[in-house]
Amino acid sequence: MNIGFIGAGKVGFSLGKYFSMKNKKVEGYYSRNYESSVEAAKFTNSKAYRNLEELVIKNDIIFITTPDDTIKDIWEDIKKFQIEGKIICHTSGSLSSDIFSDIDSLGAFQYSIHPMFPFSDKYETYKKLNNIHFTIEGHDKHLSHMKQFLESLGNKTLSIGNDKKSLYHLGNVTVSNLVIALIESGCNYLEECGINKSVALEAMYPLIKSNIENIGERGITSSLTGPIERGDIETIKKHMEAIPCENKKLYKNLSLKLLGIAKNKNKNRDYSKLQEYLEEI
């Protein structure tokens, strides 16, 4: 089946290259910036389309890999064409397949297929996609076929309901983007100790990396260390004295979350005093 991409940014580049390396037929790209289509086509040994309708007609599976805010407008354009039997997908983590309004009456089939990975570089990210999960939801007709398509790449798939996309995306953002904010805060604290910011990140990176690797190898609960896990109230009190006022609530809420994990890890340890302290601050 021929695969066409609408959108020639980092996601379109990366998925197109990854699919083609896995011997899937990537036919080509359409972008409102034709030069971007040409660039993506060269990278994937495919075709650059000047005309959106031509891409739609010549492809069986169409991936919309544009920013979320433009997906609806693109759908309004392509629904004017002959799309009966076509499989129309977008790659948004937050939007469901419901964005393809009236698609049933047009005889096409809609899917949301989200690759769970940060696409930071359009020329390099495809090399890192072998072990990622894809999340899929959409029309029952070809759902199993699209899962098989993704799994034939060597990837695992997750299925969710279209009413859960916002919650699902929140999960992704929490472990990805929000973690960056926490790392930034940690580096800021070292800066206040007189350490250069780049040096602070360099020094903390092994700690960050080791923690993530431990989670992957041992799971969340077994990887927990630190003063919360030890029940070290005095250390927590010192943190509360040092922490900027605007971060105190965040520290408290995250610590209470960690406390729940610690209780699960050390079922015979008494954390009552620590919990009382955290709830009162």
Q: pLDDT (tens digit, 9 = 90+) per residue, 151-204?
A: 999 999 999 999 999 999 999 999 999 999 999 999 999 999 999 999 999 999
* CB 235 within 8 Å of CB 227: yes
Beta strand pairing call for 133-138 and 109-115: antiparallel
Q: Are residues 68 and 180 in the same domain?
A: no
Token reading at 126: 């495809």
Is 22 strand, coil or helix?
coil
Specify which residues 89 forms β-bridges with.
Answer: 63, 111
Helices (H), 193-244: 197-218, 220-223, 227-230, 233-242
Of 164, 188, 214, the last residue of a domain is 164
* CB 101 within 8 Å of CB 123: no
Q: Are residues 114 and 246 in the same domain?
A: no
Confidence of residue 48 (pLDDT cuts 50, 70, 90): very high
Q: Are residues 136 and 242 in the same domain?
A: no
Q: Are residues 182 and 154 in the same domain?
A: no
Cα–Cα distances in Å, from 137 out to 9, 97, 133, 160, 202? 23, 7, 13, 6, 40
For residue 159, being part of any structural domain is answered with yes
Sign for the pseudo-dihedral over CA of 48, 54, 60, 63: positive
Number of domains in the chain: 2
Element (H, E) at 101: none
Q: Are residues 85 and 122 in the same domain?
A: yes
For residue 193, being part of any structural domain is answered with yes
Q: Are residues 131 and 269 in the same domain?
A: no
For residue 106, being part of any structural domain is answered with yes
pLDDT at position 217:
96
Q: Mean pLDDT across the stretch 205-234?
A: 96
Whether pTM exceeds 0.85: yes
Q: What is the pLDDT of residues 66-123, one digit of tens each?
A: 999 999 999 999 999 999 999 999 999 999 999 999 999 999 999 999 999 999 999 9
For residue 169, being part of any structural domain is answered with no
Q: Are residues 84 and 118 in the same domain?
A: yes
Q: Are residues 193 and 103 in the same domain?
A: no
For residue 189, being part of any structural domain is answered with yes
Percent of the chain residues topping a pLDDT of 90: 99
Of 136, 164, 192, the last residue of a domain is 164
Of 97, 130, 164, the last residue of a domain is 164
> Domain of 34?
3-164
Token reading at 122: 């359009």
Q: Are residues 264 and 133 in the same domain?
A: no
For residue 170, being part of any structural domain is answered with no
* CATH number of the domain within which 60 lies: 3.40.50.720
Is 222 strand, coil or helix?
helix
pLDDT at position 204:
97
DSSP 32: S
Is 45 strand, coil or helix?
coil
pLDDT at position 71:
98
For residue 108, being part of any structural domain is answered with yes
Percent of the chain residues topping a pLDDT of 70: 100
Cα–Cα distances in Å, from 152 out to 112, 137, 157, 202? 18, 18, 11, 38
Is 91 strand, coil or helix?
coil
CA–CA separation, 163 vs 70, rounded Å?
21
Q: Are residues 151 and 13 in the same domain?
A: yes
pLDDT at position 60:
97
Q: Are residues 148 and 193 in the same domain?
A: no
Q: Are residues 159 and 210 in the same domain?
A: no
Torsion of CA 28, 34, 35, 40, to 10 degrees: -20
For residue 11, being part of any structural domain is answered with yes
